Amino acid sequence: MEITTEMIKQLRGATNAPMLDCRKALQEADGDFDKAVDWLREKGMATAAKRADRDASNGTVELYSHGGGRVGVMVEINCETDFVARNEQFRKLAHEIALQIAASAPKYITAEEIPAAELEHEAEIARARAVEEGKPENIQPKIVEGRIEKYKDEVCLLRQAYIRDESISIEKLILQNVAAIGESIIVRRFQRWELGESIKK
């Protein structure tokens, strides 16, 4: 498919990527606009990932109260420099992550934090459900695997779909900001409280 100047301008307008990168993305995607956007995102992610091992000892602790004080969140987000810690885009990201935690109630930051016993328990539930639903035995392991991955998507902050744009995960949202800001950004820890939850336990 011929890549026109108009197509390049349209992609640049949507992504702010350099013209040459927009042309390359459209060529790689055979002129498909959405695939070209994804290609540019992935390119940005690759650039951002190289910064992941940099020391991130500055940052902010974001506090957020939701539902008239019924839900409270405290989250520590780290970056490399004090300059970025005061950056409006960084502080907005911290607020968005706190809002995500309030709305979606993750239990962990990454899937690696989930205890093996918890995953095995979820696998047992998934296996029992597959048997109950009459799924063929030869496909049950695949079904269990899929349900475990879905469970990880639900309980891990970085794997959750961003509440404002479900086409991206929180991890991708962070990496987009890393690419834009130029520093490593890490969610260090968080705590979520819900009014009356200790009474329920």
Which residue segment(s) compose the domain that 24 sits in?
Answer: 5-49
Amino acid in the structure at residue 167 = S
DSSP state of 139: G
Residue 63 to residues 50, 99, 160, 177, Cα–Cα distance (Å): 29, 9, 20, 20
CATH number of the domain to which 136 belongs: 1.10.286
> Which letter, b or e, does each residue of 70-89 get, where b requires 16 or more Cβ atoms within 10 Å of its Cβ?
ebbbebebbbbbeebbebee
The proportion of the chain whose per-residue pLDDT surpasses 90, expressed as a percent, equals 59
What's this model's pTM, rounded to 2 decimal places? 0.71
Question: 17 has which bridge partners?
Answer: none
Tens of pLDDT, residues 67-107: 888 999 999 999 989 999 999 999 999 999 999 999 999 99
Supply the pLDDT for residue 51. Answer: 61
Mean pLDDT of the chain: 88
CATH number of the domain to which 33 belongs: 1.10.8.10
Whether 103 is covered by a domain: the verdict is yes
Instruction: State whether 89 and 126 are in the same domain.
Output: no
Residue 58 scores a pLDDT above 80: yes
Structure confidence at residue 137 as a pLDDT band (50, 70, 90): confident
